Amino acid sequence: MRVELGQPALEHGAGVYPPTVGVHALAIRATNHCLTGCGIGEVLGMVLATWWGWDDLPSIALAVALAFFSSATY
């Protein structure tokens, strides 16, 4: 990928945060965003595994997998 000076390399999240947001505030928002997605996936995994009557190990595996994928896509 070729990047010209003054051109953004990636458009992901363009316009989400104002340009005046500091590095620490941006890090806190990004961490909160990531942990929220992870929490949603983990709770959903445990609820589904309990509903389906799964044992401990499959329940944990489902919760971890959903936490990973939901934090990556949230």
Q: How many domains does the chain have?
A: 1
pLDDT tens profile 15-53: 565 667 788 888 898 899 889 999 999 999 999 999 999
Q: Which pLDDT score, from 0 to 100, does residue 13 have?
A: 56
Band of residue 6 on the pLDDT scale cut at 50, 70, 90: low
Mean pLDDT of 62-70: 93
Cβ count near 20 (within 10 Å): 6
Rounded CA separation 3/20 (Å): 23
Band of residue 66 on the pLDDT scale cut at 50, 70, 90: very high
Residue 65 falls within a domain, yes or no? Answer: yes
Kindly tell me the burial class for residue 33, based on how many C-beta atoms sit within 10 Å of its own C-beta (0-12, 13-18, 19 or more). Answer: middle
Lookup: tokens for 39: 């929490």
Residue 68 falls within a domain, yes or no? Answer: yes
Band of residue 63 on the pLDDT scale cut at 50, 70, 90: very high
Rounded CA separation 64/41 (Å): 8
Q: Residue 35 is part of which domain span?
A: 23-73
